[in-house]
Amino acid sequence: MKKLRAAPKNLPPTLRDVVEYRKSGLSLNHVVGCPLDCAYCVRHLFANYDMKRPHLVMDDEAAVATLVDHWAFRPNVTPIQIFNRATDPFLPVVKEHLFSTLEELDRRQFTNQVLVITRWKIDPADVVRLERLAHIRLTILVTWSGISDKRIEPIDSGIAEASLMTLSQNVRRTKVIFYWRPLIAGLNDSDAHLSRARELGGLAHATVFTGLFFREEIRRHFRTIGVEDLYNEIARRKIFPEAVERRVLDAFEGQTLFRKTSCGVGFAHGVADFNGHYGIREICNICPLKQVKLCAAAHRQPSQEAVEALAGLAGLEGEAIEIDERRITVSNSAEQQRYFIQHALNYQVHDRALPHLEHRHGRAEVGWS
């Protein structure tokens, strides 16, 4: 295996801290740097977009130890993501670290959900190695957008299509999600894109669709490469206009489709959504009835005492906590505090200052009436 360079000493602190809590799980990122140059990459938000060559922050064994020693990690409960923030896990110089990390988690006999997101090449030998994992519940999410503008996405979407086909033909235990993102109004939402996405979705256990993070850093980059603003506004949450969603739902009528990553993952594994979206019932109106029943059975409104105990572990003040049939509401919280409670209870947790409006499905207000 070709060895990665050690990460430079001036690596931003947000990247040197290899464990971060995100909505789809506790995220482990001890390899940073990516040559794929997707213009909308979240690495813009971490001041790391210009690092094209992957670097190693710490070795795999130390990284796994850091993950499982994290205050928020719960064996067999906490969902985990590997290399989803600063590199692609299947790059040739990265995937050996991916396998090593997965195998170390599996050696410890954890049964946690583990999510791996890629748009790169997966070959049959890779699948053989993934299929040897016996304990962790692994999901590979293959990202595809169909964007042909090389300024925005230099990587041919055919690479992801080939990886999806390889997985479809070879997996038994591993689950596969067709991760249709980012869908951008007027760019990759044509009838031809929708038709191709429907075909590709048939190769996976489920399809999940989502929109574009359009933060100021990303808009600024688009302008430097000559791409006009894709939307008139920037937003904290992903932008996915209501009209685009309507066209997607029409195009996928009769085929399994999910708005949320964790919903698709739960369906693929035959378990309830680990993010507790069932409380926000309008999200569920496109889910298969079988999945809705699973999530309904798992939906239990927690007690004030249980929430306050978890809030205490997360360092969150408990005086302003409110609980209803849809969500837990807290104040002055950080994302990792909310997500820890959310995954521990399988129940949505929202901050008062950042409300999720009904029927927006946690999306930006841009494009909604």
pLDDT value of residue 369: 84
pLDDT value of residue 365: 92
pLDDT value of residue 160: 98
Tokens (6 digits) for 84: 């989803």
Among 206, 304, 214, 216, residue whose Cα is nearest residue 252: 206
- What's the rounded Cα separation, in Å, for the pair 215 and 197? 26
Amino acid occupying residue 210: T
pLDDT in tens, 34-54: 999 999 999 999 889 999 999
pLDDT in tens, 229-276: 999 999 999 999 999 999 999 999 999 999 999 999 999 999 999 999
pLDDT in tens, 55-106: 999 999 999 999 999 999 999 999 999 999 999 999 999 999 999 999 999 9
What's the pLDDT band for 133 if we cut at 50, 70, 90?
A: very high
The answer to whether residue 15 scores a pLDDT higher than 80 is: yes
- What's the rounded Cα separation, in Å, for the pair 134 and 220? 45
pLDDT value of residue 132: 98
The answer to whether residue 316 scores a pLDDT higher than 70 is: yes
Share of the chain above pLDDT 70, in %: 99
Mean pLDDT over all residues of the chain? 95
What's the pLDDT band for 317 if we cut at 50, 70, 90?
A: confident
Q: What pTM value is reported for the model?
A: 0.97
- What's the rounded Cα separation, in Å, for the pair 125 and 21? 31
What's the pLDDT band for 1 if we cut at 50, 70, 90?
A: low
CA distances to 17, 98, 137, 265, 345 from 64, rounded to whole Å, are 13, 11, 16, 22, 24
The answer to whether residue 2 scores a pLDDT higher than 90 is: no
- What's the rounded Cα separation, in Å, for the pair 274 and 16? 28
The answer to whether residue 318 scores a pLDDT higher than 90 is: no
- What's the rounded Cα separation, in Å, for the pair 149 and 60? 36
Q: What is the mean pLDDT of residues 321-327?
A: 95
pLDDT in tens, 182-202: 999 999 999 999 999 999 999
pLDDT value of residue 358: 84
The answer to whether residue 359 scores a pLDDT higher than 90 is: no
What's the pLDDT band for 360 if we cut at 50, 70, 90?
A: confident
Could you check whether the bond before residue 13 is cis, i.e. omega within 30 degrees of 0?
Answer: no
DSSP letter assigned to residue 266: H
Packing angle, helices 335-345 and 304-313, rounded to 10: 140
